[in-house]
Structure 1
Amino acid sequence: MSLKVTICDDSGMARKQLLRTLPQDWDAKVYQAADGEQALTCVQQGQAEVLFLDLNMPVMDGYQTLHAIQQQQLECLVIVVSGDIQPEAYQRVTRLGAMAFVKKPMSGDELRELLQQFGLYQPASGHLQLVDERQSQPENALDVYREVSNVAMGQAGDHLARVLDTFIDLPVPNVNFIAPSELHMALQTIDNTERVSAISQGFAGSGILGEALTLFSDTSIDDVCRLLGHQLTGSVRQQRIEALMDIASIITSACLNGLGQQLHVEFTASQPILLGEQKAVRELLAESEQRWQNLLAVEIGYSLKEHQIDFDLLLLFPADAVKVLDQQLAHWLAGQED
């Protein structure tokens, strides 16, 4: 009898990637879920003897799903496939009963070796059956951008977590094509009534020009300073600015590096500039509105819950850059098909 397998990821593009990676001669019947709640239903209905599970999802994330499976004592072998590669993420899912943890994107050879290691796959044992035909739909542009950003976000979060020796809670990236006047509306995690400070860094690579804005609420800045502690020097204001610059540089360079690795683009970022202090979000973003016309905005809200620190990274790509970015993504997608 065919093995029942469910792939759970909020990104249709990520599910399609993993489907392409599964051995075509695997005697398995594959179902799909777009969030943890759907995945849990699949497990309860006997459609997930093996569950490939993402971590960062809306409705119910991977951690909550693993906890529910454990609490309900459901029979299921869980393989976490995530862009969040922090050491603590691995430790958390292991404690919650995950059988294995692999990072996105996963190669076919890596997957076959893993499945054989756990006795789940024998070559030429049958053929793959796809129960849900959603994978045949064309990729949505925003979904592709969101998944690429998700992998880059995970790499950046891992780098910052290691530097600060703490765990970073990662969101689902918010990706939209918007007008500059809508920038403040694109921010999901910062309350527009808060006073914030921002660091700006321009970046370029292979004809792709953009700007990275890192925004900190005033309450988070003091907590960042306490976290960095002895590393900061000078007056209180100088320490606040140094802390902002350090965090912004780390997260921006790591995220751009993650994007560049996937798109085969080497991004170079300029020196960070203090865009403004203790201003309303709308006021801070006014300068960027004047520089761009229409743009692609990628918002990533990072959270260090143990230290009560929240900040946003906003990557802005103007229309001309998006044309080049589309070409790079087309090459990347073609490589995924091979």
Structure 2
Amino acid sequence: MLTITICDDSTMARKQLQRSLPADWDAIIHYAEDGEQGLKRVRAGQAEVLFLDLNMPVMDGYQTLAAIQQEQLDCFVIVVSGDIQPQAQQRVQQLGAMAFIKKPMAAAELRQLLRRFGLYQAAAGQLQSATEDTALSARDTYQEVANVAMGRAGDLLARVFKRFINLPVPTVNIIAPSELHMALTAIDTRATVSAVSQGFAGSGVNGEALVIFNDTAIADLTELLGYQSTLSPAQTQLEAVMDTASIISSACLQGLSEQLHVQFSPSQPVLLARDSHISDLLSRHQERWQRVLAIEIGYSMADSQVSFDLLLLFPQVALPALDRLLTHLLESSS
């Protein structure tokens, strides 16, 4: 019997992967919530096959792969990630991963992969679980869906800017408008920012994608885009801000649409602020945000000072419809 470990900080992702594995696989499943726990499973002989996420707290997937390689541990690693950038796939291969599967994974694709590597034979046994996994929370579900959507946007940004995009673990909070500034933990409150908003709606769910740029990095952003413009420097930088915000919002919404099977209709992007302090931005537009579900994703570019934050804001009235879509997503992955 094979020992396998599913290493992912998301309870939803662990459950989705568990449900996608062949029920007649002669294997026993262990679980890990971060790379450090995953590494302990490998060292204990509980991960002959390791399904490994990349973006995790404590120790991420890259660090885990590096440790496995450095310690020469016997482990067959399959990376399962929403970060689908070409450089991410190249990096994990260089660190010894045997395969890369993008989230959300398809059961048929996973079964075919396991057969190809000689890890699975039909009707060879019964899949077992060695430990009871954590109960699934609404916060975790929101976070994992945002994680996959974030990866789609990161992939597009990487191709446009020809830079590796550092992706975080999304943060999820249900907050009042006065608490929005607490969600923007990555933004220097002393710096000025520019912000672009784009509304969207579909299947009873409405929301807003808010992209916030630190103004000190906008000149670098414009240079990376390589714009050859007859406009003034200020107008060219504004064009770069609007274009980048559109790339992020559109790709992230597309990632949400693919998972939830909803066609979101976006509104025209609107510039909410230019050269403003974050506190001024939030107080000036506070009336537009009631109590909201706020999902924050902080993007940054490797070898660059450029970074930006995406806030996906869902009003409380949209949450019942969003929860129904997420429930259907979980049921369809069973």
Range class of TM-score, shorter chain: over 0.9
1:47 to 2:46 alignment:
yes
1:36 to 2:35 alignment:
yes
Tell me how far apart the structure 1 counterparts of residues 107 and 220 of structure 2 sit (CA, whole Å).
43
Contact 2:163-2:302 at 8 Å conserved across structures? no
After the TM superposition, which residues 105-254 of structure 1 pair with which residues of structure 2 at under 5 Å, given as runs? Answer: 105-134=104-133, 137=135, 139-254=136-251
> C-alpha offsets along residues 81-129 of structure 1, whole Å, 9 cap, x if unaligned?
0001111111000000000001011111111111111111111111111
Q: In structure 1, what residue type is equivalent to 2:318?
A: A
Tell me how far apart the structure 1 counterparts of residues 66 and 229 of structure 2 sit (CA, whole Å).
40
Quote how far apart the aligned CAs of 1:232 are.
4.2
Paired residue for 1:262, among 253, 259, 262? Answer: 259
Contact 2:20-2:333 at 8 Å conserved across structures? no
Tell me how far apart the structure 1 counterparts of residues 186 and 178 of structure 2 sit (CA, whole Å).
18
Quote how far apart the aligned CAs of 1:163 are.
1.8
Tell me how far apart the structure 2 counterparts of residues 159 and 245 of structure 1 sit (CA, whole Å).
16
Quote how far apart the aligned CAs of 1:78 are.
0.3
Cα root mean square deviation, aligned = 1.2
Deviates more, 1:10-19 or 1:314-323: 314-323
Aligned to 1:68: 67
Deviates more, 1:203-212 or 1:169-178: 203-212
Tell me how far apart the structure 1 counterparts of residues 328 and 60 of structure 2 sit (CA, whole Å).
31
Q: In structure 2, what residue type is equivalent to 1:190?
A: I
Aligned to 1:332: 329
Tell me how far apart the structure 2 counterparts of residues 188 and 161 of structure 1 sit (CA, whole Å).
23
> C-alpha offsets along residues 184-243 of structure 1, whole Å, 9 cap, x if unaligned?
101132122222111111111222221111111122211101111234441111011101
Quote how far apart the aligned CAs of 1:291 are.
1.4
Q: Which runs of 4+ in 1 moved over 3 A?
A: none
1:294 to 2:291 alignment:
yes
Tell me how far apart the structure 2 counterparts of residues 233 and 219 of structure 1 sit (CA, whole Å).
22
Tell me how far apart the structure 1 counterparts of residues 252 and 321 of structure 2 sit (CA, whole Å).
19
Tell me how far apart the structure 2 counterparts of residues 288 and 46 of structure 1 sit (CA, whole Å).
54
Tell me how far apart the structure 2 counterparts of residues 228 and 117 of structure 1 sit (CA, whole Å).
41
Quote how far apart the aligned CAs of 1:286 are.
2.0
Deviates more, 1:255-264 or 1:325-334: 325-334
| Structure 2 unmatched runs, 5+ | none
| Structure 1 unmatched runs, 5+ | none
Quote how far apart the aligned CAs of 1:311 are.
0.4
Quote how far apart the aligned CAs of 1:280 are.
1.6
User: Structure 1's 106 and 235: CA in aligned 2 closer, same or farther, altered over 3 A?
Assistant: same
Contact 2:16-2:330 at 8 Å conserved across structures? no
Aligned to 2:314: 317
Tell me how far apart the structure 1 counterparts of residues 5 and 324 of structure 2 sit (CA, whole Å).
32
Tell me how far apart the structure 2 counterparts of residues 262 and 313 of structure 1 sit (CA, whole Å).
19
Tell me how far apart the structure 2 counterparts of residues 218 and 25 of structure 1 sit (CA, whole Å).
55
Contact 1:227-1:307 at 8 Å conserved across structures? no
Deviates more, 1:225-234 or 1:83-92: 225-234
User: Structure 1's 22 and 277: CA in aligned 2 closer, same or farther, altered over 3 A?
Assistant: same
% of aligned pairs identical?
Answer: 63
Quote how far apart the aligned CAs of 1:287 are.
3.5
Deviates more, 1:305-314 or 1:281-290: 281-290
1:80 to 2:79 alignment:
yes
Deviates more, 1:76-85 or 1:291-300: 291-300
Deviates more, 1:195-204 or 1:84-93: 195-204
Contact 1:225-1:232 at 8 Å conserved across structures? no
After the TM superposition, which residues 13-32 of structure 1 pair with which residues of structure 2 at under 5 Å, given as runs? Answer: 13-32=12-31
Q: In structure 2, what residue type is equivalent to 1:118?
A: F
TM-score by length of 1: 0.96
Tell me how far apart the structure 1 counterparts of residues 222 and 233 of structure 2 sit (CA, whole Å).
9
Contact 1:8-1:15 at 8 Å conserved across structures? yes
Tell me how far apart the structure 2 counterparts of residues 223 and 114 of structure 1 sit (CA, whole Å).
42
Paired residue for 1:280, among 277, 282, 287? Answer: 277
Contact 1:228-1:243 at 8 Å conserved across structures? yes
Provide the aligned length of Structure 1 versus Structure 2: 334
Contact 1:232-1:243 at 8 Å conserved across structures? no
